[in-house]
Amino acid sequence: MDTSEANDDTLGIEVILPDGGKPAPCCPHGPTLLFEKVGKGGEKGRRFYACSACRDRKDCKFFQWEDEKVSEARVLAREAENQSKRPPFTQQEYCKRFRKFASLPLDEKKFCQDCQILLLPAEREAHSSHRSTAVTAAQLRRPSAMLRPLDNKKSNAQYLFTDRSSHFLLDTLAALGYKRVLCVGTPRLQELIKLRNLEQSHEPMKSLLLDIDFRYAQFYSRDEFCHYNMFNHHFFDGEASSAILQAFLTEADGEKVVMVADPPFGGLVKPLANSFSLISQTWGKLQSSDNSNSDMPMMWIFPYFFEPRILECFPSFTMLDYQVDYDNHPLYKHGKTGRKQSPVRLFTNISPRDVVLPKEEGYRFCSVCQRFVWSLNRHCTKCNVCPSKDGREWKHCSVCEKCVKPSWRHCQSCSRCALPDHLCGLTEGKEGCFNCGSLKHKRKACPVKDTHRVSRHRPGAKSGAKNVSHRHVFKAKGKRKSGAARRAKKMAALSV
């Protein structure tokens, strides 16, 4: 395990997942999350509610102390604010509009780029000063190419799969026999599924997109899109949408279902895991009794350095070596041809030996590990694993008795491997446990850490480092720089 990652307990903010008790107040993004500052000695700070989805106050300014009295006037103002942030049309209206739009002659099909909306003839006048473009039937089937990717660095930057990655995902799922794909934050995958269904040569697959970006509602029918927040499992259309999800998860005619999620990278792992568990539970309840104890097949796409956190939430998951890459992400492209390697991986509870990674791209099967690995990920006979996490060739350190990153050297005074320029002498152990202050263990091993279900609040998003002015407590402590700072750098790089 990468020790620089184990070090990310440096931020004293934890998320307290809802336990069914007092309902959280709502911001425009649904129920807020409860956060708690934790002091170094483990003492608990004052709790507060903040937006589940936005990492920047500019995007959602909601803030409330847990014990704060909120005046009637403020409650009303808040409700009005939440109301004003609703999409301009209901899901039903969007569907009706889409049907109308699709039946228009080609020369009347226009898309307003400024408003990011398909225009009906009667609306064109009102948008006459805006930039609008013609829409062909082919373009109408590729909304992810038509909509401007949200590039909000802090909360909701959209990174769209390359053809290579989206085809790989779809081919893999098809080969595994899945007939229904629940696309959580994966609009491009949903689109590809629908496109492929048009080719008669494939068995059709069904897909349902759950996404917070309601612009997608314009292109899909009621049972293909739900406006959803994956950080609090909130359906903006309430019961109607959860019923659609339920219907989708009911594996009618033995059609196997799988979930594929590609959340914003800065997302809090625990709330995401909580939402995915709830989806899995919903699925489980719909299973026949002999199958009701199993888990819903899932793929969670996230950077490799989140592995410890994801496995903490989902111990049955495996991280695969496949490098997911993105069209509109200049820095992280698939390796091999000299381009930089992507740090984004698949985490899944599907048996890794069944997920065949393409040989022509440099993956091979390790018969000992029983999984496909990247060419540079050589099996270490001492560790008995293919150890590399980041795509580089790792090397075994006989003192540490484990494989480490190629750039690390064994340091005598720290008695561990580290970067040659590490802060020598400042080993992790000396910082002690962030939860209880003991010098004998780190927070991960803390015997009292699970007294409530918690998650660490992390800086950075698919999008970059967090900057929440009133929540100054989110900032990492300067002194503990190494792990957190390095990771923040990685995160920032992801956002370029």
Q: Which is nearer to ligand SAH, 260 or 436 (CB)?
A: 260
Binding mask 177-196 for ligand SAH (x = CB under 6 A): --------xxxxx-------
Q: Cβ 42 to ligand SAH, closest distance in Å?
A: 30
**The CA-based dihedral angle spanning residues 469, 29, 476, 262, taken in that order and rounded to the nearest 10 degrees:** -140
158 binds ligand SAH (CB under 6 A): yes
CA separation, residue 166 to residues 117, 161, 326, 374, 434 (Å) = 25, 6, 9, 19, 40
Site for ligand SAH in 46-75 (CB under 6 A): 53
Question: Which two three-digit tokens encode residue 274?
Answer: 């909580």
- Choose the binding region for ligand SAH from 60-68, 100-108, 158-166, 287-295 (rule: CB under 6 A): 158-166
The number of CA neighbours under 13 Å toward the Cβ of 375 is 8
Which lies closer to ligand SAH via its Cβ, residue 264 or residue 352?
Answer: 264
Partner whose binding site includes residue 185, from Zn ion, ligand SAH, none (CB under 5 to 8 Å by kind): ligand SAH
Cα atoms in the 13 Å half-sphere on the side-chain side of 376? 15
The interface partner of residue 156, options being ligand SAH, Zn ion, none and the CB cut-off 5 to 8 Å by kind, is ligand SAH
Site for ligand SAH contains 159 (CB under 6 A): yes
Inter-residue contact 142 to 166 (CB < 8 Å):
no
Residue list 94-113, contact with ligand SAH (CB under 6 A): none
* Contact status, residue 53 vs residue 157, Cβ threshold 8 Å: no
Q: Which is nearer to ligand SAH, 36 or 211 (CB)?
A: 211
Q: How many angstroms separate the CA atoms of 306 and 312, rounded?
A: 10
- Measure the CA–CA gap between 234 and 212, rounded to whole angstroms: 10
CA distance to 149, 187, 300, 461, per residue, from 153 (Å): 11, 19, 21, 7
- Residue 211, classified by CB atoms within 10 Å of its CB into exposed (0-12), middle (13-18) or buried (19+), is buried
CB 167 to ligand SAH: min, Å? 12
Cβ contact 53:156 at 8 Å = yes
Least CB distance from residue 264 to ligand SAH, whole Å? 5
Rounded CA gap, 303 and 393, in Å? 18
Q: Are 278 and 261 in contact (CB under 8 A)?
A: no
Part in contact with ligand SAH (CB under 6 A); list of ranges 36-44, 153-161, 290-298, 335-343: 153-161
Q: Which is nearer to ligand SAH, 196 or 364 (CB)?
A: 196
Q: Which one of Zn ion, ligand SAH, none is in contact with 189 (Cβ closer than 5 to 8 A by kind)?
A: ligand SAH
Nearer Cβ to ligand SAH, position 230 or 245? 230
Interface residue list for Zn ion (CB under 5 A): 27, 29, 51, 60, 380, 382-383, 396-397, 399-400, 403, 410-411, 413-414, 417, 424
Instruction: Considering the complex, state which of residue 112 and residue 403 has its C-beta at the smaller distance from Zn ion.
Output: 403
User: Interface residues with ligand SAH (CB under 6 A)?
Assistant: 53, 156, 158-161, 185-189, 211-213, 228-231, 262, 264
